[in-house]
């Protein structure tokens, strides 16, 4: 059977008996948003059925209008003959789309500000070998070993690829026995002629986020960022969150799918940057990988099943230093790949990187570190102790489980202001105001919207729409944005090319659950160590959407604790910053390992206090109003009802 796709790059693809449209598209490498991994739950993989017979087994989250206009869920539609479809732009995964990424700021300055120095794991020994002669005919490798010994370098391991792929003998002769040997972690990496221009020494820092992948290509001679690149983690095509991916990994070929997907993302970025800067092949000598525990395991192709089964144990926490060839990275095959230690199943290398980059373990100040990404991890501590937990906030702030949710890319509503009867939205990539073209709403937009809706009295402290009892108090321009939808009431934030963008009652409940998980994580952790929130002297906020986050609104929402604004510090993507630090200096690498070894992990899912903290936090801002004095004052001023 044939699946015809109107307006696509591939006009016709095959589809098998019993295969869903989603599965057929995936086989043809056409990827749809499918946050739930194709389980018929998220309602995102919409396609328009134009012609032909198909069995439809579910309509979750589709509106009447959508159903009437022929929209179906690709994962729940099974062609029974040749079928024609159209794929709405909003259903396509924007893999390869440019993502806003911090260029890293003054990274070299950060190294010195933190008292570090350029000391990458890769070292170079300049060696002058004794050329062979009749009567002195020991092998090339013995000459190299002798020169290394004379230079005071401890014995190295010489990987097969070093001798085989480098063409060791050829290089030695071309270089007239005068070479630079690059090595790291006790192992030879490559050989360059010493005279003449060498290819340079480069390294890559890689942040593998559940949603995005960021690569820094760094000149190891001075720590300079040559270029940063980022893209979506194309594992998204197998599901939005780590759990869905772990489940996919247990399926036949699933682990390999997932590994290949993220490798291609990274290699795509590295290849493009290398080409742009005309880097010699093999001159990238090392890499540092930073990601959560599941991402780190999937990158290495390792089994993740035990991560989601009690007692939640990962396969590896301190990763051996493996080789570029083993990783499959576009790297010198003998290059050494370091992986940031993953302390527990849900506190990974990204958090170790973040804590390293924050510097919170370097002094006595009690600090709170929060990484709000696809999940949500928190840490509390100082130079003496450190306790961490994972909040299971879920990927809602990345757009998953939210009707019009999307990531913070072009067209995403990233800020919302409700004032004087008007709703103002800021849209990523667009001019503010009516010129912007909104396609959906991202995490920071959700936080803004819900807190503004609370302040304006559109919703009450339980997150329910107010029109039943207090609707009359709303200005008419606001009230008319409130309407009844399929999933209960909804509030229209803006109108876009594909229709109106609204937050539904279900969306708000999801956002409340996510923010409650984060806040409950923080408060449980703080209580666990016998402190109160007022003891916190610094709050470091990290995460992919840290760039856009309005902290005041997040406090009003009750996601962040109500403590003085001056204690908050934004750090943006600290996973990549920490990976950068570990790349340029062995000192930071050791510090990261010390951080990991000093961490105490608290499993919130079995903590007796967590559930009641969570329940209390399912309120705006919180059932215990004494915890949010500033917000209470504000609400009192606004006259919002309880």
Residue among 314 and 543 whose Cβ is closer to a copy of itself:
314
Q: Which is nearer to a copy of itself, 133 or 278 (CB)?
A: 133
Helices and strands per DSSP (H, E), number in the chain: 19, 28
CA distance 285 to 295: 22
Q: Six-digit token pair at 615? A: 């329940």
Quote the least distance from Cβ 174 to a copy of itself, whole Å: 12
Sheet holding 224-232, edge to edge: 224-232, 212-219, 202-208, 284-291, 336-339, 322-323
> Which residues of this protein are in contact with a copy of itself, per CB under 8 A?
132-142, 157-161, 163-164, 167-170, 173, 300-303, 305-306, 310-318, 320, 322-323, 326-327, 342, 344-345, 601, 603, 606
SS3 278: coil
Shortest reach from residue 450's CB to a copy of itself, in Å:
34
- State how far the Cα of 621 lies from the Cα of 454, in Å rounded to an integer: 9
Q: Measured from the CB atom, is 164 or 385 closer to a copy of itself?
A: 164
- Indicate the DSSP class of residue 223: T
**Least spacing, CB of residue 170 vs a copy of itself, in Å:** 6
CB of 209 to a copy of itself, least distance (A): 21
Q: Which is nearer to a copy of itself, 327 or 556 (CB)?
A: 327
Could you give the C-alpha distances from 158 to 164, 193, 456, 628, in angstroms and in order? 10, 18, 68, 61
Please count the other Cβ atoms lying within 10 Å of the Cβ belonging to residue 148. Answer: 19
Torsions phi, psi for 569 (to 5 deg): -130, 125
Q: DSSP letters along 454-521, please?
A: HHTTSB-TTS-BSTTTTGGGS-HHHHTTEEEETTEEEEEEEEETTEEEEEEHHHHHHHHHHHHHHHHH
CB of 530 to a copy of itself, least distance (A): 19
Q: In whole angstroms, give the CA distance from residue 557 to residue 520.
A: 13
Separation CA 546–CA 511 (nearest Å): 17
Smallest CA-to-CA distance from 260 within 294, 223, 281, 234 is with 234
Smallest separation (angstroms) from a copy of itself to the CB of 587: 22
C-beta closer to a copy of itself: residue 170 or 422: 170
Q: Which is nearer to a copy of itself, 63 or 306 (CB)?
A: 306
Q: Which CB, 95 or 247, lies closer to a copy of itself?
A: 247
CB of 201 to a copy of itself, least distance (A): 23
Q: Please check whether residue 359 is in contact with residue 379, taking contact to mean a CB–CB distance below 8 angstroms.
A: no
Compare residues 129 and 579 and give the one whose CB is closer to a copy of itself. 129
C-alpha distances out from residue 593 to 270, 317, 348, 590, Å: 26, 10, 12, 5
CB of 349 to a copy of itself, least distance (A): 12
CB of 216 to a copy of itself, least distance (A): 24
Choose between 306 and 500: whose C-beta lies nearer to a copy of itself.
306
Could you give the CA distance from residue 545 to residue 507 in angstroms, rounded to a whole number?
19
């Amino acid at each position: 059977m044939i699946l015809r796709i109107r307006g696509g790059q591939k006009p016709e693809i095959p589809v098998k008996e019993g295969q869903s449209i989603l599965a057929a598209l995936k086989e043809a490498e056409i990827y749809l948003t499918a946050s739930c991994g194709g389980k018929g739950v998220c309602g995102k993989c919409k396609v328009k059925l134009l012609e032909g017979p198909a069995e439809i087994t579910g309509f979750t989250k589709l509106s009447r209008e959508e159903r009437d206009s022929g929209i179906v869920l690709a994962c729940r539609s099974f062609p029974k003959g040749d079928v024609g479809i159209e794929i709405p732009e909003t259903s396509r995964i924007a893999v390869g789309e440019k993502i806003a990424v911090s260029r890293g700021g003054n990274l070299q300055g950060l190294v010195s500000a933190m008292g570090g120095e350029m000391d990458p794991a890769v070292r170079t020994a300049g060696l002058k070998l004794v050329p062979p002669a009749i009567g002195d005919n020991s092998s090339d490798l013995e000459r190299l070993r002798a020169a290394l010994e004379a230079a005071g370098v401890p014995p190295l391991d010489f990987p097969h690829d070093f001798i085989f792929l480098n063409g060791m003998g050829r290089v030695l002769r071309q270089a007239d026995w005068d070479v630079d040997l690059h090595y790291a972690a006790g192992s030879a990496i490559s050989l360059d002629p010493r005279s003449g221009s060498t290819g340079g020494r480069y390294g890559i820092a890689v942040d593998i986020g559940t949603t995005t992948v960021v690569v820094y290509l760094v000149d190891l001679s001075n720590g300079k960022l040559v270029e940063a690149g980022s893209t979506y983690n194309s594992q998204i095509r197998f599901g939005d969150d780590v759990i869905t991916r772990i489940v996919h990994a247990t399926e036949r070929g699933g682990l390999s799918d997932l590994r290949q997907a993220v490798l291609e993302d990274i290699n795509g970025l590295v290849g493009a940057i290398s080409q742009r800067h005309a880097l010699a092949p093999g001159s990238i000598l090392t890499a540092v990988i930073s990601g959560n525990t599941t991402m780190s395991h999937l990158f290495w192709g390792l089994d993740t099943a035990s991560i989601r089964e009690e007692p939640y144990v990962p396969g590896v926490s301190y990763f051996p230093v493996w080789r570029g060839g083993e990783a499959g990275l576009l790297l010198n095959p003998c290059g050494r790949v370091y992986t940031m230690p993953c302390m527990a199943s849900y506190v990974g290398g990204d958090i170790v990187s973040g804590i390293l980059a924050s510097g919170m373990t370097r002094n006595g100040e009690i600090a709170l570190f929060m990484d709000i990404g696809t999940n949500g991890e928190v840490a509390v501590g100082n130079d003496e102790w450190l306790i961490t937990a994972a909040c299971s906030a879920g990927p809602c702030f990345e757009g998953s489980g939210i009707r019009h949710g999307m990531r913070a890319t072009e067209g995403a509503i990233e800020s919302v202001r409700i004032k004087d009867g008007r709703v103002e939205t800021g849209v990523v990539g667009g001019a503010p105001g009516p010129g912007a073209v909104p396609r959906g709403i991202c995490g920071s937009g959700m936080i803004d919207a819900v807190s503004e809706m609370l302040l304006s009295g559109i919703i009450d402290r339980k997150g329910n729409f107010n029109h039943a009892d207090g609707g009359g108090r709303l200005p008419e321009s606001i009230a008319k944005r409130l309407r009844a939808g399929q999933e209960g009431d909804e509030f229209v934030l803006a109108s876009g090319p594909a229709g109106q963008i609204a937050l539904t009652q279900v969306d708000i409940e999801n956002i409340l659950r996510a923010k409650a998980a984060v806040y409950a994580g923080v408060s449980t952790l703080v209580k666990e160590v016998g402190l109160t929130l007022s003891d916190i002297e610094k709050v470091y906020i990290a995460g992919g959407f840290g760039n856009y986050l309005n902290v005041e609104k997040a406090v009003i929402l009750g996601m962040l604790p109500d403590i003085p604004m001056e204690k908050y510090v934004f750090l943006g993507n600290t996973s990549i910053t920490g990976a950068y630090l570990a790349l340029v200096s062995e000192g930071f690498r050791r510090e990261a390992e010390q951080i990991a070894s000093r961490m105490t992990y608290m499993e919130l899912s079995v903590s007796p206090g967590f559930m009641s903290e969570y329940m209390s936090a399912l309120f705006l801002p919180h059932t215990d109003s004494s915890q949010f004095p500033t917000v209470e004052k504000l609400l009192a001023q606004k006259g919002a009802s309880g």
